Amino acid sequence: MATRITPEDVLHVANLARLALTEREVEEFTVQLGAILDHAADVEALDTEGVPPTAHPLPLVNVLRADVPRPGVDRDEILAAAPEAEQDRFRVPRILAEDEG
């Protein structure tokens, strides 16, 4: 297992992402990212000749219903069931305080 990533590489990427890492995190991420790169190299070394490209191991088919317009619920009926309505809309409690200046 060759070293593919150095602590300096981790610090460089962390700097680009504007992340502050501790020394322990740098060590930990260096090991973890190295393991990820080693795994990617293992996958790259596989003989995939004759294997068709695929995005999923099982064939998937989207099951979609037809997009058929249908009548909605009557506005007056819905507003009649609301605790409070005002100007053909639901009335809800104010969540922001008015300026008390």
pLDDT in 10s for each residue of the chain, 101 residues: 456 899 999 999 999 999 999 999 999 999 999 999 999 999 999 999 998 888 888 888 888 888 899 999 999 999 999 999 999 899 988 888 766 55
Q: Return d(Cα 51, Cα 20) in angstroms, integer.
A: 43
Cβ atoms of 5 and 34 closer than 8 Å? yes
**pTM for this one?**
0.49
Pairing of β 85-86 and β 89-90:
antiparallel
Structure tokens given for 80:
């009649």
Domains of the chain in sequence order: 7-44 (1.10.20.60)
Structure tokens given for 19:
């992340």
Q: Return d(Cα 94, Cα 24) in angstroms, integer.
A: 48
